[in-house]
Amino acid sequence: MSNIAGKAYAMNVLTPSNSKISWVNRLLFMASRGLPKNLMGLLGLSLIHFARWVIIKPRDWPDLGQGKEKLQHDYMLFCSNFNGTWDQYIDAFSDGIPGGLDMFWYASIGYPESIPITPFKDYITFNQVNTDYYYNATPGSAQRDVKTSLLVFDQVLKLADMHATASPEDFAAAYHKAALKMQKGLGDPGFGPVASLDTERAEVNRRDLLPPSGVGGPADA
C-alpha cells in the first residue's frame, strides 16, 4: 500500500451519487466557496494538507482503451492528504464538521451521515481506493512543521538584511525578538513516534528500497 509517505497519508474515496440530485451538491459546493466562513471547521483542522470534492459525470470518465464506461450514476471523488492515522483523520472530520460532511456527501448513495462514527467509517472504508503511488516532498514534516519552517526562513532573511546596517545593540534586540517568534519552528522534523503500524511498515519498506549509505548517492554521481 502506498497511502503513506512519512507523516502524511493520502486518501481517495469514490462514491456513487444520485444523478437526479447531484446538481444540488454542485450548488452546495458553490455556496461553500462563496461563503468560506462555513468551512472554518475544516480549515481549522491543521492536520489536513489538502481536501477536494469533485463530481464526475458518466460522460467524463476517461476511455484509456477499455471502451466507454456505461454507468448509471454520477460519482463523487474525494481526495485528501493529511498527517496522522486514518482513524485520527476520520474522527477529527466527524467531530469538526459533521454538518459539512453531510452536506458534501448529500447526494451519495448509501451515505449514513457522519454521526454516529462507526457507520461513517464503514462507508469510507468500503469506498476508499488505495493509492498506487504517493509522493510527498517533505515526508518528515507535518503541515505545521512546514508553516513554522517558513516562519523561521522569513525571520532569518529579515535578520540578514538588518545585519548590514543596524547597530550591534539594535541587531541584538531584533535577534532576541526574532528568536522568540522562531521558538515553535526550531523543533527537529522527522518521523517521530510511530503513528501506526501502517506507518512503521511503510518506513521499513522505504528503507529497504534505498541504496546503502554512500552507495549510489549524490557523492557517487
Digit-by-digit pLDDT tens for the chain (221 residues) are: 578 888 888 999 999 998 888 888 888 888 877 777 766 667 677 788 888 899 999 988 888 888 888 888 999 999 998 888 888 888 888 888 888 888 888 889 999 988 888 999 999 999 999 888 888 888 888 888 888 899 999 999 999 999 989 999 999 999 999 999 888 888 777 766 555 666 667 667 777 776 665 444 433 33
Please tell me the predicted confidence (pLDDT) of residue 150.
92
Q: How far apart are CA 21 and CA 111, in angstroms?
A: 14
Please tell me the predicted confidence (pLDDT) of residue 87.
87
Which residue has 534505498 as its cell numbers?
210
Q: With b meaning 16 or more CB within 10 Å and e meaning fewer, what string describes 209-221?
A: eeeeeeeeeeeee
Residues 6+ apart with CB under 8 A from 84: 7, 9, 47, 195
Q: How far apart are CA 199 and CA 74, in angstroms?
A: 34
Smallest CA-to-CA distance from 125 within 149, 176, 157, 89 is with 89
Contact present, 157 and 176 (Cβ < 8 Å): no
Contact present, 30 and 55 (Cβ < 8 Å): no
